[in-house]
Amino acid sequence: MRTRTRILSGAAVGIVAFAVVATPAAAATDGAKLSVLHGVPGLTVDVYVNNELTIDDFEPGDLAGPLDLPAGTYSVAITASDAPDASAPAIGPVDLTLSAGGNYTAVAHLNEAGQPGATLFTNDVTPTAAGEGRLTVRHVASAPAVDVLAGGSAVISGLTNPNEKVLNLPAGTVNASVAAAGTTAPVIGPADVNVAEGTSTIVYAWGSLQNSNLALAVQTIEGLHSAPGGIPAGSAGLAAEGDSSTLWFGIAGVLALLGAATLVVRRQVAPVRK
């Protein structure tokens, strides 16, 4: 039996051998949290962790987790759906090293050339300043680099697969536009995005430009509020210094890149087959 829902923080689903528990981001520091996103179009898969079937019949656009795991190194293999075991993976096996207190998302996706692979992202779950939220955009699509335009000028240049941009921003809604790398003529936008206070919103552009199946997936991590008057947590070194509103416009433009206005991302988690 499997369960599908929209991505909702606080949902909890049991998995034999791995507990799937959505808790506040600053909870237990002796383990790690791992989510898994399936971003390879047209391929239903099974996911094995340390040779144990952990996610069954995982479909493109699905997000599973977070899995609550002890810190350590895990071997993850992605096989064809209903494969008898992990001996003939379609992707991997890939060793993922998870540190105590870390929050991670492993993404199976296409590279720019359209070949399948996997990337482990570390999610920034440090507290946000009062009145702010965090927005991360990850390019995991088979598509070229882009520039983000604000006021007709590029504020983010050459965002490529499998890279990300992270910003801490005042809560609110803004818009921007996107152009192909090295150009200034907008090809997408303007588009709006909302960033909620005390929440990390992670947007993934996945799929293939050549095959016209680009899509967006959204992951949220709540519980990042800090006390009023707290010190801003920073942006993991990825935001340029300068006017924050300009950067806000830039990252909103990347959100608009490569696809549709809204994608319902389903969570699918299934029991381990013995």
Q: Could you please report the per-residue DSSP string of 76-118?
A: EEEEETT-SSSSS-SEEEEEEEE-TT-EEEEEEEE-TTS-EEE
Q: Quick one: pLDDT band at residue 190, thresholds 50, 70, 90? A: low
Comparing 77 with 204, the larger pLDDT belongs to 77
In which domain, by residue range, is 120 found?
A: 3-269
Does residue 51 lie within any of the structural domains? yes
What CA–CA distance (Å, rounded) separates 42 from 22?
A: 28
> What is the average pLDDT across 230-246?
35
Q: What is the pLDDT of residue 240?
A: 32
How long a stretch of residues is the chain?
A: 274
| DSSP SS3 for 255 | helix
pLDDT tens string 130-179: 999 998 888 898 988 877 665 676 667 788 999 998 878 888 775 665 56
Comparing 147 with 256, the larger pLDDT belongs to 147
Comparing 191 with 203, the larger pLDDT belongs to 203
pLDDT tens string 36-87: 999 999 999 999 999 999 999 999 999 998 989 999 999 999 999 989 999 9
Q: Quick one: pLDDT band at residue 236, thresholds 50, 70, 90? A: very low
Does residue 255 lie within any of the structural domains? yes
pLDDT tens string 105-125: 999 999 999 999 999 999 999
Does residue 223 lie within any of the structural domains? yes
Does residue 25 lie within any of the structural domains? yes
> At 18, phi and psi to the nearest 5?
-135, 125
pLDDT score of 19 more than 50: no
Does residue 274 lie within any of the structural domains? no
Domain count, the chain: 1
Comparing 193 with 71, the larger pLDDT belongs to 71
Residue 224 near residue 199 (C-beta atoms within 8 A): yes
Q: What is the pLDDT of residue 33?
A: 95
